[in-house]
Amino acid sequence: MRSNPLSEAVTVLLLLTGGTLSAAEVYNGQGEMAGEVTETSVILQSRLTRGTALVDGDLPGSSGVARFELSAADDFADPRLTDWMTAVPRNDYIVKTRISGLTPATRYYYRLRYGVDQSHTRLGPRATFKTLAGRERSAVVSFVVVTGMNYAFFQDGAPKFQRPKYEGPDKPLGYPALATILRMKPDFFVGTGDNVYYDHPADSRARTRAELRKKWHEQFVQPRFIEMFRQVPTYWEKDDHDHRFNDSDPHTPVQGYHAWVQDRENAELAQQPSNALGIEIFREQVPVVDPAETEAVTYRTHRISRELQIWLVEGRDYRSPNSMEDGPGKTLWGKAQIAWLKRTLLDSDAPFKILIAPTAMVGPDGATKRDSHANIGGFQHEAREFFGWLDRNSPVKRNFYLICGDRHWQYHAIHPGGVEEFACGALCDANAFAAISPGDPGSTDPEGRIIHKYTQRGQSGGFLRVRVHPPAGERLAQAEFAFYDELGALLYRTLKTAHRP
C-alpha cells in the first residue's frame, strides 16, 4: 500500500510536538466561510481547532487535514472534492482554497471533511453560497455593509469613551446585529474594515503574530458569526484597527500618534505590529485573496448582476504618511490603484456603480483627524482630483455612489459636487459614537456645504442594507439604501432610479 504524505506529515508533527490528538479532539470551532464569490469561483475557508470555546481568551488551533465537498444539490449528490489540505501552525491551522469552474447564478452547498488524518475524519455542517449573476443576467440583489466590530467594547465597555458593555442575556452568542442580518437573508456581507481592533484595550494592545491572530479567533468563534457565515458569503476590506492601530499608515511608528497607547518597553516591540505583519495577518484570516497567489492585490471589482457592479478598494497598503503635507504628491490609494479604478469605472456599463471604501470621502469628519479623503490636511487633494475626474466623465458619475465604513454613525451625505455617500455606522451599540453634522465648527465642513439627507440620532449600532431591483415594465432599475439599528428597526431609506441609457 502506498504511503500518504499528508498523513505522514501530520504524524511527524504530532510526534515532534508531543501531541496525541484523536479524531474526536479536532474541531472546526470557527465554522466555515465563503469569500470573494464571482460568477464562476469562490474561496472557501475554515480553521481546525482543539475545541469550540475560548481558552484563556483564545481558541487553540489543531493540526490535522481537511478538504471541502461542494455540490449544486443540497443532498451533495455528485460532489466536487478539493485536494486534501494540512492545518499547521505556520498558517494558523487555517485551510483555504479557491474553487473555479462554477456555474453563474447557481446556489451551491459545501461542507468540510476534517480530522487528524485522512483515515479519521468527520463532516461539518452544510453551508451555502450563490454565485454572482454577472453582466449578462438580471437579478434582485441584496447585501449588507458593516464596520466597527469592536469585541473589547462589546464585552467590557470603554469608560474612557463612555461606552457601556453589552448586557443582554444573549451576549455569549455575539453581536445582535448578526442575527438581524441573517434574518434578512442578504446575498452577501461586506466588512469594510475595523473588523477587529488590535489596539483595544489600549493597555494590552495586540503586537505579536499570536496576539493579532487571537483578535480574529475571539470574534469568529461567536455562534452568530458561525451561523451567518454558513449562509452568507463575504467580501472583506481592512482599515486602521485591523491593519496596525488607530489612523495607521505603513510608515509611522505607533508612538507617533496617541500618547495613551505609548509603551515603556523596548522600542522595537513598541512599534509593533509592523505594516508587513498587519497585511499578512489580514490576508491569512479572511478569504480575500487566492492563497495560491501570494502577490495578489486586495483592490478588486465584481460585476454582481446586469444592474450592479461594486468596487472594493485598499486604503492602507499604498498610502503616504498621514502627517505629510497634503498636495499632488500625497496619496491614500496609490497611483496603480487609482489608474485601475478609473479604467474599470470607464469600462463598466452597469446601471449602478457602487464604490465601497474603508474610509469616508464626503463626510464630514472631525477637523483634527488626517486619516481619510474627507480630512483637512489628510487626503483631500486626491479626493478633489477624483471628484473632478467624475465630473469630466459624466456617464460614470450617473448612478455612481459611495459607501464607507470607519465612521461610527450612519449618514447619507451629498458632496457639493453631487456625489452621494452612505456611511454604514458601527455594527454594535457599544462602538457607536455621536454624529458629526455639516456646519459643525469642529468638523471638516464648518460652512455646511455638504448636505445630509440623513444623520443618525443618538448613539446606536447597526448596518446599511442595499437592494437592487432589475427593470420591470416601464420602470427602470432601482437601488434602495436603508439604514437599520442592530435589532432591525428601519431608521432611514432612500430609493434611487437608474438613468436611461
pLDDT for the residue 353: 98
Grid coordinates given for 262: 505609548
**Fold match flag (5-130 vs 141-194+298-497):** no
pLDDT for the residue 307: 98
Beta strands in 100-167 (DSSP E): 107-117, 120-123, 127-130, 141-146
Does domain 141-194+298-497 correspond to CATH entry 3.10.350?
no
pLDDT for the residue 23: 59
> Measured between alpha carbons, how far is 356 from 359 in angstroms, rounded to an integer?
9
pLDDT for the residue 479: 98
pLDDT digits (tens, 9 = 90+) for 433-462: 999 999 999 999 999 999 999 999 988 999
Please name the amino acid found at residue 455.
Answer: T
Q: Please name the residues in contact with 107: beta carbons below 8 A apart, sequence gap of 6 or more.
A: 72, 128, 129, 130
CA 47 to chain centre: 18
One-character DSSP codes across 249-288? -SS--GGGT-GGG---S-HHHHTPSPHHHHHHHHHHHSS-
Q: How many C-beta neighbours within 10 Å does residue 440 have?
A: 16
pLDDT for the residue 261: 45
Residue 452: beta bridge partners? 413
pLDDT for the residue 488: 97
Q: How many C-beta neighbours within 10 Å does residue 218 have?
A: 17
Place of cell 453581536: 175
pLDDT for the residue 362: 98
pLDDT for the residue 14: 40
Let me know: does 468 contact 478? Beta carbons within 8 Å.
yes
- CATH entry, 5-130, from 2.70.70.10, 2.60.40.380, 3.30.420.40, 3.90.1010.20: 2.60.40.380
Q: How many CA atoms lie within 13 A of 294 on its CB side?
A: 0
pLDDT for the residue 130: 98
Low-confidence stretches of the chain (pLDDT < 70) are 1-24, 255-270
Beta strands in 194-334 (DSSP E): 234-236, 300-303, 308-312
Q: How many C-beta neighbours within 10 Å does residue 37 have?
A: 23
pLDDT for the residue 112: 98
Please state the domain extents for the chain: 5-130, 141-194+298-497
Query: Is beta strand 352-357 parallel, antiparallel or unpaired with respect to 400-404?
Result: parallel
Of 302, 254, 313, the closest CA to residue 278 belongs to: 254
Let me know: does 98 contact 136? Beta carbons within 8 Å.
no
pLDDT for the residue 266: 60
pLDDT for the residue 160: 79
